[in-house]
């Protein structure tokens, strides 16, 4: 069975009231001190010493008696003395000006040189000490980060929390060419940004994500900030949702939350989505048991491209289930399974291995991955036919979990990452998945058969585009000339118009209206938005229709027209 946790969650709540708020500038000053202020404060005494030494040297040199070239008494002006000491005290050296010095002048200059060397040595040592201080380096780092964020050239997201879910989200965003800024309180996790080798240079900020100034430093107030992803612990995620809604209510925020009470508090601040992996697991496991065809279709559509269709769960609703858990996870799963009418027993792992005789399924959901594996292994030995769902908290045991081959593997970070990406990368495609989840098994059976017939047994890849001059110039010109084009004609093979390409249009979005799985006789209009599920290689053929006028002409009329203007003109002359 595939992972039943890779499904989009949607909000079923309607906002009845918007919080009253006052417009406040997003803060960006984090706790610490500006680097320039640090330099001025720590270098104040050394600079004063240098200034005093320089002043004494200049004034004293101007008072020392000297001679001009004719042997007449001469004293240097203040400017001459200042000029001479400027290049002498800095060890540059240039010569005696405007005349050769007298012995008193040379004695004074000698003393001034030694004094300036002492002053410079003191100043340089103080500067080195300042550079080695962690506070100064932190101030420099913050200033660099502020400049990098301010100079972001394209829309970006803020990822608050760089744990397993954060790293998974960042990796996929980077593959899609999306820019982002990372915040995490752990120095090691921020350093991991360099190890992960993203295509773009990702700004990483070490700081408390619940601090509004840290969010501001990460670019919350930036006009190109397009969203915030709160992927750390519940308390910090609640603070992020609150801060974003009150400071930048137009910026959507998606948050992870493991606690229902905290999720209810988040809802008051109108987040784009709240993802509770514990609650979602029981819900989707129940879906797999009660509506297996719907679950099979939705899971298959969400799997990586070209994944095989997984077998449905059968005959698992008649019998007893055991949920082994010592925290919120066990309670959430047991509640969801009980809600669909299953006979569920909750067992505490502290009491050892539960009796799995005559049990059809068990969920191993303790806090320890090692303990979950041990529980599942014992259950499999005692009852080889039992359905096993195993919880995996950490990536440390990932290889062992895969080797065990549980019937269902629950990885909270993967669930959160996939649902977050569903909202960010392709929200219109995931709206179709949500539509599938609410369908009955009969409808899902028919849709699955259509997919298998048209696309084949591997998971299709999704894409979406508008019928406009940017994404589909040839089609846009055809439609704006008042000519007819249907969905079936659009997805026809450019080499054989009677053979459809291995793809289906899953959504047609026209203005505010969305039609799922529209008929292929549906006529298209300019600026329609289409969401397509297809074999990856078919997208290149579709692109030919979208961009070449002669291909659009062929798939609609069956007439093969020359590609170049010259040959089209000659063909028109022959017909004329």
* Residue 383: CATH number of its domain: 3.40.50.720
Q: For residue 449, tell me if it sits in a domain.
A: no
Distances (CA, A) of 86 to 50, 52, 90, 103, 119: 12, 14, 6, 20, 14
pLDDT bin (cut points 50, 70, 90) of residue 6 is very low
- Domain containing 95 — which CATH number? 1.10.287
Domain count, the chain: 4
pTM: 0.74
Helix (H, G, I), strand (E, B) or coil at 357: coil
CA distance 547 to 543: 6
Question: Could you tell me if 292 and 418 lie in one domain?
Answer: yes
Residue after which a domain boundary falls, among 254, 275, 296: 275
Q: For residue 437, tell me if it sits in a domain.
A: no
Q: For residue 2, tell me if it sits in a domain.
A: no
Q: For residue 20, tell me if it sits in a domain.
A: no
Mean pLDDT of the 374-389 span: 93
Q: For residue 129, tell me if it sits in a domain.
A: yes
Question: Could you tell me if 238 and 308 lie in one domain?
Answer: no
Burial of 484 (0-12, 13-18, 19+ CB in 10 A): exposed
Q: For residue 12, tell me if it sits in a domain.
A: no
CA distance 307 to 459: 5
**Comparing C-alpha atoms, which of 560, 16, 1 is closest to residue 267?**
16
Q: For residue 25, tell me if it sits in a domain.
A: no
Question: Could you tell me if 174 and 200 lie in one domain?
Answer: yes
pLDDT for the residue numbered 251: 93
The answer to whether the CB of 11 falls within 8 A of the CB of 108 is no
**Comparing C-alpha atoms, which of 240, 245, 8 is closest to residue 257?**
240
pLDDT digits (tens, 9 = 90+) for 259-314: 889 999 999 999 998 998 888 888 888 888 889 999 999 889 888 788 888 888 77
Q: 359 is in which domain, residue-wise? A: 287-424
Contacts 24+ apart (CB under 8 A), 422-426: 422/8, 423/8, 423/254, 423/272, 423/273, 424/157, 424/169, 424/173, 424/178, 424/227, 424/229, 424/254, 425/172, 425/173, 425/176, 425/178, 426/462, 426/464, 426/531
Mean pLDDT of the 320-346 span: 88
Residue after which a domain boundary falls, among 100, 134, 168: 134
Please report where in the chains the tokens 């004695």 appear, as a residue.
Answer: 107
Question: Could you tell me if 292 and 420 lie in one domain?
Answer: yes
Mean pLDDT of the 352-381 span: 92
CA distance 176 to 463: 12
418 CB-near residues (< 8 Å, 6+ apart): 5, 6, 302
Question: Could you tell me if 39 and 80 lie in one domain?
Answer: yes
Helix (H, G, I), strand (E, B) or coil at 63: helix
Please report where in the chains the tokens 């100064």 appear, as a residue.
Answer: 136
- Domain containing 531 — which CATH number? 3.30.70.1450
Question: Could you tell me if 389 and 482 lie in one domain?
Answer: no
pLDDT at 353 over 80: yes
Question: Could you tell me if 407 and 302 lie in one domain?
Answer: yes
CA distance 18 to 183: 28
Mean pLDDT of the 528-548 span: 94
Please report where in the chains the tokens 């005692």 appear, as a residue.
Answer: 382
pLDDT digits (tens, 9 = 90+) for 64-119: 998 887 888 899 999 999 999 888 877 667 788 888 888 999 999 989 988 988 99
pLDDT digits (tens, 9 = 90+) for 19-56: 767 777 788 776 555 667 777 777 889 999 999 999 99
Question: Could you tell me if 240 and 300 lie in one domain?
Answer: no
């Amino acid at each position: 069975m595939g992972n039943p946790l890779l499904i989009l969650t949607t909000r079923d709540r309607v906002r009845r009231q918007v919080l009253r708020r006052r417009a406040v500038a997003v803060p960006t000053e984090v706790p610490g001190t500006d680097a320039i202020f640090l330099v001025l404060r720590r270098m104040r005494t050394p600079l004063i010493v240098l200034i005093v030494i320089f002043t004494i040297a200049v004034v004293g040199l101007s008072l020392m008696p000297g001679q001009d070239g004719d042997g007449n008494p001469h004293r240097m002006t203040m400017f001459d003395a200042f000029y001479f000491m400027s290049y002498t005290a800095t060890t540059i050296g240039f010569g005696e000006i405007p005349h050769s010095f007298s012995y008193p002048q040379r004695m004074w200059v000698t003393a001034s040189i030694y004094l300036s060397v002492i002053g410079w040595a003191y100043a340089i040592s103080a500067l080195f000490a300042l550079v080695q201080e962690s506070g100064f380096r932190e101030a420099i780092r913050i200033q660099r980060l502020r400049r990098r964020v301010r100079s972001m050239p394209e829309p970006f997201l803020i990822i608050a929390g760089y744990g397993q879910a954060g790293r998974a989200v960042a990796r996929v965003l980077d593959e899609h060419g999306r820019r982002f800024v990372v915040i995490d309180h752990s120095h090691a996790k921020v350093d991991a940004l360099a190890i992960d080798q993203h295509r773009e240079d990702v700004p990483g900020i070490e700081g408390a994500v619940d601090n509004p100034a840290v969010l501001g430093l990460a670019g919350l107030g930036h006009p190109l900030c397009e969203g915030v992803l709160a992927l750390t612990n519940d308390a910090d995620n609640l603070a992020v949702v609150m801060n974003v809604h009150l400071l930048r209510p137009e910026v959507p925020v998606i948050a992870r939350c493991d606690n229902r009470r905290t999720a209810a508090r988040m809802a008051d601040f109108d987040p784009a989505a709240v993802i509770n992996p514990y609650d979602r697991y029981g819900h989707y496991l129940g879906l797999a048991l009660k509506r297996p065809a719907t679950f099979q279709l939705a899971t298959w559509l969400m799997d990586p491209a070209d994944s095989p269709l997984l077998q449905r769960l059968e005959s698992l609703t008649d019998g007893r289930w055991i949920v082994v858990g010592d925290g919120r996870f066990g309670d959430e799963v047991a509640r969801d399974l009980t809600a669909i009418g299953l006979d569920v027993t909750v067992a505490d792992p502290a009491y050892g291995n539960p009796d799995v005789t005559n049990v059809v399924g068990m969920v191993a959901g303790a806090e320890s991955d090692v303990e979950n594996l041990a529980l599942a292994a014992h259950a499999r030995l005692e009852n080889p036919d039992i359905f096993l769902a195993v919880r995996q908290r950490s990536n440390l045991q990932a290889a062992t979990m895969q080797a065990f081959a549980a019937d269902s593997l629950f990885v909270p970070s993967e669930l959160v990452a996939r649902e977050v990406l569903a909202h960010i990368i392709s929200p219109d495609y995931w709206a179709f998945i949500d539509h599938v989840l609410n369908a009955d098994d009969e409808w899902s059976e028919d849709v699955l058969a259509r997919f298998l017939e048209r696309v084949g047994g591997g998971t299709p890849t999704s894409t979406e585009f508008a019928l406009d001059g940017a994404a589909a110039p040839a089609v846009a010109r055809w439609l704006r000339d008042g000519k007819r084009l249907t969905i079936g004609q659009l997805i026809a093979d450019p080499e054989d118009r009677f053979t459809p390409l291995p793809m289906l249009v899953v959504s047609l979005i026209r203005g505010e209206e969305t039609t799922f799985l529209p008929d292929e006789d549906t006529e298209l209009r300019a600026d329609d938005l289409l969401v397509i599920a297809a074999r990856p290689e078919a997208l290149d053929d579709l692109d030919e229709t979208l961009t070449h006028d002669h291909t659009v002409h062929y798939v609609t009329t069956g007439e093969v027209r020359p590609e170049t203007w010259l040959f089209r003109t000659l063909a028109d002359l022959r017909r004329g």
